[in-house]
Chains A and B, each alone.
Chain A
Amino acid sequence: MSGTLSALFPWAFLVPLAPTLAFVIIGLFGRRMQRLEWGGWVAVGGAFVAMVLGVLIAVGEMLSPGTYSDRSVAWLTLPGNGTGAFPHGFSLVMGTLVDPLSAIMLIVVTVVGFLVMLFSIGYMHRDQGLPRYYAELSLFLASMLGLVLADNLLQFFLFWELVGVCSYFLIGFYYAKPSAASAAKEAFLVTRIGDVLFLLGIFIYFDLFATAGPGAGWAASGFLFVSHGAPFLAGVPVSNATLFTVAGLMMLGGAAGKSAQFPLDVWLPDAMEGPTTVSALIHAATMVAAGVYLLAVVSVFIGFTATDQLLIVAIGGFTTFWAASMALVHRDIKRVIAYSTVSQLGYMVLAVGAGFTMVGLYHLFTHAFFKALLFLAAGAVIHAVETQDLFKMGGLRKSMRITSIGFLIGALSLSGIPPFAGFFSKDDVLGSVYQAAQSHPAYWPFLILAYATVFMTAYYIFRAWFLAFSGDHPRDPTLPHAHEAPWTMTVPIVILSGLAIVAGLLAFVPQFGGLFRAGAGFLPTPGVPPTYTTTSLLLSGLSVGLGLTGILTAYVLWGNGRVFTLAESSAVQPIRRLLLERYYVKAGVDWFGLRVVYTVSRFLAFVDEYIIDGTVHGFERMFSELSTRARRVQSGVVLDYAAYVVVGLAIFLVFLYLVVPAFPALGGG
């Protein structure tokens, strides 16, 4: 059995190829399909094939762990000429890599991808431009799978940018809405800053490995993901630690852009302008997790220096708290979940930074399911009541039973209540950071922030649940009467609910958990999650207690359809306003973009037009003035010209025979 499944590894490239095919078909015949409403089913089919293959490959990896890589496609080859920086030349290749990391991601991306595609059939049926939607979503899925299977940093970056541009198009799906077009632009540009840093990091790694790496193998391999049984930095004494630190920071920069970590987090809440399905797939489960995946991949294959680790922990820990605080006050259901995503991504970054890569991926795995669940349930609600404002909803528990239970399971999972999936992974994150903090005291403040966030998480997500589902009837009577969603929407919600319950427990299945324990010399010992001791049980108790307190607080303030209003004079009011204004970061970004950058650019354009080109016109005027004067010599009388010729000749002769001999420097004498 295991042999059969690992025979699939060479065919891993077919996984991204299936949605690519769907993309091509929909792109070419999309308009014809709109009438027949086939486009969506083609996309679902592509995603289904990808899911079957992807899960089979992941199971194969569970049964026979190890790394399989195929590097057969030469992408860009520079032959060596024996001199210069690359005397032996190099070859940048494209290939596929199947290992525990990519197996985990394959499951996440293909399963959530398929469910979201299915959900879209019901959710998007009212919209225009469906072929475009399904084409772009299929392209996204293909690129994301390409990223997951990438076997070197360059290929990773290539697909990284492609998922970015798909995200751009899908955020701006309702392009006629100025706010959607603007949010798409913001998402692209903010992540672009991270991408640029990522690119610099790739250059540094490339150089380090191509020119200074150990042995000739490195010169050819460049920045391939090569397994050494331990991260590169752990195995070799490094002469260039500063450069490795800088490169690691650049990776963090890239990850911060994609995974919306502070200070590049501003785009993700605005990205909620896209359809809710897009938010579920791209901005909750897969693409935003790519940043964490990048950090994981780098920490497994190359490794981070201690400085890098501290900074990653700091960014992750701070973002966790920062984003959760903003989720406390917002009224838009999608924005609340979006802030929650940023906050949870912070947990993953925190774990990876603390050296527990697989723990970070474990949280990524469970989070993908319960966050996609929350988004899809929210999507079903939005689909039913046609508003995203929590304060207008209420009482939907009765009319949308499946959706309300789905959302509740997601919320419990997010709050870290056992035995839901989020409990296990979040507990592992907190436990591992606690363990790391024993030897790195600098991690303590960020661990405390992470614990505080557990309370806030439970509070804001149950505030959302109570506002939407509890009570007797909607607070806004003008809302359309809500019905339960069609089967294409409820089936994904039910499946994801199941996964949100069992995904955490799955890790206790030996074969599956093996992916995270990652035997076969794939990971050094620090990657193994903590064993269950008295301390770890106490810590679990602490986080569950904090979660339950959060739920209780939410119930007291918002339960049973109550709406908690803060007195205008309250001392907390300024904080609330600060949070609603998103710490004025958004305003600052807009100010920087529109005022500072644009003004500088206008100034440059002014200089270009009036100073540089003005100088040119100055020369033009000078010459035209001179020539106006000089042309008076041209009397038009031939005899005058003849006279000039003779005089010129005379001057020349005088120069040649009288002046030149007198000055030897001119060549005379």
Chain B
Amino acid sequence: MLPILSLTLATLLIGTVATFFAGPRAKYVAAAVSGVFLAEIAAMFLMFSWPGIGVGPTHFAESETYAWIHVAWLHVNYTVGIDGISLILILLTGILQAVTVAYSWNETRQPGAWFGLVLLTCLGCFGVFVALDVLLFFVFWEVVLVPMFFLIGYWGGPRRRYAALKFFIYTHVASVTMLVALLVTAFYSHSPSLDFAGLQGSAATLAVPTQVILFLSLFFGFGVKFPIVPFHTWLPDAHVEAPTGGSVLLAGLLLKLGAYGLIRWGLEILPNGIAHAAPVLYAVAFASIVWGAGVSLAQRDLKRLVAYSSINHMGIVLLAIALDTSLGLLAAVLLMFAHGIVSALLFMVSGSVHHTFGSRDLASVNGITPTAPTLSTMTMAGALASLGLPALISFPAEFTALLATWDKLGYWVLIPLFTLVVTAAFYIWMMQRLLFGPPKGIPADAHDLPYAEAVAMGVLVILTVVYGILPNLLVHWITLSPVAGLP
């Protein structure tokens, strides 16, 4: 059988290195790498659904294991594998890498480094989604931080140093907590094994209070990436200072790492932990949902508004995960995908508004529709998708998430439900200020979207509509994996 996962990793690795050294031609290399990556993802989908292939003893299809570090008492393997959840997130990685490259096609400042770092971020995310060994997972997890740090710190806005450092410190403290918790889980058992199945086995031998404590530590570690209230303040700063491509990857992929980690290395490793710690997660999720929406309403900076709305959406993801039901898990993965696509679109919109009109201030840039009709259409599509309009991608995700919440928590669902009104309010109000009304603050040389940006956003809008009308295209793959059928 074709070792498709390792092949993809190799492609991305070689592609990244090649891009770094390609100088002004980096964008062509990056585009080629994205194309190959997407082809390989298509191959993964094919192999995943081929009957009789792939579903190995650990429930992971395409599983590959090679010894990496073996000493007498410690076995660290290079183990990779995918299930339905990672497959969907890998698809998201491929899509976002391609559109980020397309969007920043005209990047002139150090294009080699820019495209190389973009590819490296996606490489790290892909690694996180396939790694089935704690150490391998952690390596990829940290690999993601470095390029993002430089993307913000070099190409960012005026306060980029502050934002990059804040991002790095927050996420690093969190990942250290996470690593310690995972290692403790592994080393508590008598034959420490660092791969996924081994960790599951050794976690089962732990006392329940220990499991709960470990789970909460993991929750903190992954939660900062979500981000959860009150550890969220790095996100708006990072987004506001990050360049558009950086924001797209940050919101579209990096936030998903936390949610994915919580499912893969929290929920599935420590089922007793989630069973007892769920109320904590619910409380944090509700707080994030309400807080994100409430603070968004007061924002004047378009990008900050979108950033806070991410906190709100990821709060719903957390809620769906915390429910610990198969419907909740399905909803969480759908929402992650939906938010990845839609927030990427909205951050591209903010970026384009910023460099077309010189400002993202909703109080000083108004009525852009006559000047930039295409940009205006993209803004509407993004805002409507994000507020959960049916026939767009977020709706099936939010619908299943709220249905799952009602099933498990009953009338608590009113909290996220009524937050939907607030979400609608800040997007509709944003559109009223930015798109409609008499034009104001429009520079004389303002123009509609450049071709590259329009293509990148157009692809995302099309995906939003297609998956919104036919969510089974995603659901089918997620539910193929036995893991999504978590009891």
The CA-CA distance from A367 to B472 in the complex, in Å, is 40
Chain B residues near A193 (CB-CB < 8 A) = 421
Shortest Cβ distance from residue B263 to the other chain A in the assembled complex, whole angstroms: 16
Contact B429 A185 (CB under 8 A): yes
The CA-CA distance from A65 to B3 in the complex, in Å, is 60
The CA-CA distance from A85 to B326 in the complex, in Å, is 9
The CA-CA distance from A185 to B424 in the complex, in Å, is 10
Contact A158 B291 (CB under 8 A): no
Chain A residues near B9 (CB-CB < 8 A) = none
Main secondary structure of the interface of B (DSSP, over half): helix
A32 within 8 A of B: no
Chain B residues near A188 (CB-CB < 8 A) = 424, 428
Shortest Cβ distance from residue B231 to the other chain A in the assembled complex, whole angstroms: 9
The CA-CA distance from A612 to B228 in the complex, in Å, is 12
Chain A residues near B400 (CB-CB < 8 A) = 76
Chain A residues near B369 (CB-CB < 8 A) = 175
A162-B390, A182-B432, A598-B297 known; A203 vs B475 contact (CB < 8 Å): no
- Interface flags for A64-108 (1: CB within 8 Å of B; 0: not) read 000000000011111101011110000000000000000000000
A476 within 8 A of B: no
Tell which of A85, A162, A178 touches B389, judged by Cβ atoms closer than 8 Å.
A162
Contact B472 A76 (CB under 8 A): yes
Shortest Cβ distance from residue B152 to the other chain A in the assembled complex, whole angstroms: 17
The CA-CA distance from A172 to B422 in the complex, in Å, is 20
Contact A78 B479 (CB under 8 A): yes
A429-437, A506-514, A563-571, A601-609 - the one binding chain B: A601-609
Shortest Cβ distance from residue A612 to the other chain B in the assembled complex, whole angstroms: 5
A165-B384, A189-B425 known; A612 vs B479 contact (CB < 8 Å): no
Chain B residues near A196 (CB-CB < 8 A) = 417-418, 420-421
A199 within 8 A of B: yes
- Interface flags for A596-622 (1: CB within 8 Å of B; 0: not) read 011011101100100011001000000
B414 within 8 A of A: yes
Tell which of B330, B438, B471, B476 touches A176, judged by Cβ atoms closer than 8 Å.
B438
B435 within 8 A of A: yes
A597-B297, A597-B425, A605-B295 known; A176 vs B327 contact (CB < 8 Å): no
A185-B432, A597-B425 known; A200 vs B294 contact (CB < 8 Å): no
Shortest Cβ distance from residue B435 to the other chain A in the assembled complex, whole angstroms: 7
Shortest Cβ distance from residue B437 to the other chain A in the assembled complex, whole angstroms: 5
A176-B436, A616-B233 known; A84 vs B325 contact (CB < 8 Å): yes
| Interface band, chain B | 35 or more
B248 within 8 A of A: no
Tell which of B295, B325, B435, B436 touches A85, judged by Cβ atoms closer than 8 Å.
B325
Shortest Cβ distance from residue A610 to the other chain B in the assembled complex, whole angstroms: 11
A165-B384, A206-B403 known; A176 vs B367 contact (CB < 8 Å): yes
Q: Which residue of B lies closest to A616 (CB)?
A: B233
A181 within 8 A of B: yes
Contact B475 A200 (CB under 8 A): no
- Interface flags for B456-487 (1: CB within 8 Å of A; 0: not) read 00000000000000111001100100000101
Main secondary structure of the interface of A (DSSP, over half): helix
Interface size of A by Cβ–Cβ distance < 8 Å?
51
B107 within 8 A of A: no
Contact A85 B298 (CB under 8 A): no
Q: Which residue of B lies closest to A179 (CB)?
A: B437
B276 within 8 A of A: no
Shortest Cβ distance from residue A261 to the other chain B in the assembled complex, whole angstroms: 18
The CA-CA distance from A602 to B479 in the complex, in Å, is 42
B61-69, B202-210, B336-344, B405-413 - the one binding chain A: B405-413
Contact B432 A77 (CB under 8 A): no
Chain B residues near A605 (CB-CB < 8 A) = 294-295, 298-299
A196-B417, A612-B233 known; A175 vs B435 contact (CB < 8 Å): yes
- Interface flags for A523-538 (1: CB within 8 Å of B; 0: not) read 0000000000000000
Tell which of B295, B432, B479 touches A604, judged by Cβ atoms closer than 8 Å.
B295
A332 within 8 A of B: no
List residues of chain B with CB under 8 Å of any chain A CB.
229-230, 232-233, 291, 294-299, 325-327, 330, 367, 369-370, 384, 389-391, 395-396, 399-400, 402-403, 406-408, 413-414, 417-418, 420-422, 424-425, 428-429, 432, 435-439, 470-472, 475-476, 479, 485, 487
Q: List 16 A-B contacts (CB under 8 A).
A: A78-B479, A85-B327, A161-B390, A162-B389, A178-B437, A192-B424, A196-B417, A196-B420, A203-B403, A203-B406, A204-B406, A206-B403, A207-B406, A601-B294, A601-B295, A602-B298
